[in-house]
Structure 1
Amino acid sequence: MSLKVFDLQCDQDHVFEGWFGSADNYESQQAGGLLSCPVCNSRQISKKLSAPRLNVSHIKETAAPSAGAGNAVAAPSSSQVAQLQAQVLRHIRQMIRSTEDVGVRFAQEVRSMHEGETEERAIRGVATQEEREELANEGISVMPIPDFLDDERLQ
């Protein structure tokens, strides 16, 4: 199977790649509201203009490599890419599972750690958009966890 890789962008200007089985697959997911930004979870996604990925495997270099030729590596197959993607997602999910879930106390807890009142630790929880904006204004960076990465939200 040949994968289609598109450069996507959300309404918050986060740019990311989307991997699809076909252009039609992208269109149907977009129309169904199934696409979301992995950074902010926005569902307002658009496809960016990007250079086409050319299949030039049929072109063989006939001249000898020049003295300045560098090392090269073969591109992974689509099944290798899918395996790598699955491994990355498993690793991210494991990292999320290893954090302490503080629930709705998230903003309070992260603020307390930032101010040195409590020991820093890996936490996750629930924060409203307003709370996230307040934290950002205080210089505290937080990142939403997209639903597809948080096993507990999917249960």
Structure 2
Amino acid sequence: MIAYDLQCCNGHRFEGWFEDSRSFDRQKKQGLIACPICEETAVSKMPSTFAIKGASGTVPPKSGAKGDLAVLSQQIADYVEKNFDNVGADFAREALKMHYGVSEPRNIRGFSTSTEEATLKAEGISFFKFPVSSESSDPDAS
């Protein structure tokens, strides 16, 4: 058995248990996985603290403390900032260009409208949304 942290397109997080990763993929494709809150079937796997190694090569402890979550959130934000190209408002356009082979695939970050997100989903483009602090979202911030 394997447990995944899942999130629906409306932002509700929940856990799902599957026989293996292929079982998750099959059930998702068939629309059998639904959010227990809103029953939305557009769900995606979320990063889990069990899958993120710390600097010492150990998995962060699962204490549930708000401080631990804040630290983990900051580590993720720092990693994305350092390892993803910031394309700002051109996120959807750049994702579509990579999807159709117009530009080379690369890690990108930015923002998009709900209409652009719907287009990306309709085109079969996977993306991950996560909140950022107001300091991180200001492109003019140093």
With normalisation by structure 1, the TM-score equals 0.45
With normalisation by structure 2, the TM-score equals 0.48
Instruction: Report 1 or 2 for greater relative contact order, CA contacts < 8 Å, sequence distance ≥ 6.
Output: 1
Whose radius of gyration is greater, 1 or 2? 1
